[in-house]
Structure formats: C-alpha cells, structure tokens
Amino acid sequence: MAWSTELWTGLRSLIRLYDKMLKKVCTEHDLTVMEADVISFLQNNPGKDTAVDIVELRGLSKGAVSKAVESLIQKSLLERIPDTEDRRRIHLRIKPEAKPVTEMIDEVRREFLDAVLDGFGQEELEAHTRFFQRMFDNTRRELERRGK
C-alpha cells in the first residue's frame, strides 16, 4: 500500500474509532452523533464558537450542523449569543445543563488518546508532533497559494 493510501486509511480509521467511542455519549444522553460532535467541537475550540466555524473547521454540512444546533438548543444544552459588534454573527455557548455530556466527552477523549497513543514514548510523540505540524503548515501555505 502506498504511503498516501496508508495515511488516508489511517486518518479515516481514527475518525471512525472516535465516532464509535462517542456513540457511548450519544446513547447515555440521547444525542445524535452530530449533536455530540457539535458539543465536542465547541468544548475543545475556544474562540471558534459559531456554526460557520464548525462547518469550516470540521468539514461538516451546513444543514447538518444547523439541525444539530437547533436540536441542542431545544434540549437546553446550547444557547445562541448575538455578537456585540456584528449582528449577523451568532456565537454558540454550551449551557451548564450540558456538564454531564461534556464530562463524558472528556472521558471518551482520554480513552481515545490512551488507545491510539499506547506504547509511544515522549520522544516519539514530540517527533510526530513536529512532523504533523510541518505537514499542516505546508498544507496551509499551499491552500493560500492556490486561493483556498
């Protein structure tokens, strides 16, 4: 298998595993995977708190994110906060009622990282971090060069 094929296959497997582990949160708290994904995104990306941020950074469909956000608001887990400078921007905030969900998402994330990083030493993790950071920097530069 070519290196690029292994990379894509590996990335998809990582996402599938995380989604599979996240289903435990969904079952326990009566959420869809998309709803849990929205809460997880907001929890882990301070300052990236609009539906547009979720769509752009996670590569999810606008309709699916909108539906999940609306459902989470109806479930009293999320609230909309109008931007003070730009009325068109609406920020999303996780409500205190979502604490059991966010705690469980934290637990799932720890389990996920423990599973996928099992057996790696500190030096290996640091080398991989540098490798991926350089790869992501190269990707960003190339996207900018090509006009995103």
pTM above 0.85, yes or no: no
Q: 110 is written with which tokens?
A: 């720890």
Residue 43's identity, in one-letter code, is Q
Query: Long-range contacts made by residues 69-76, C-beta under 8 angstroms, separation at least 24?
Result: 69/38, 71/32, 71/35, 72/35, 72/38, 72/39, 75/31, 75/35
Q: What is the pLDDT of residues 97-138, one digit of tens each?
A: 999 999 999 999 999 999 999 999 999 999 999 998 999 999
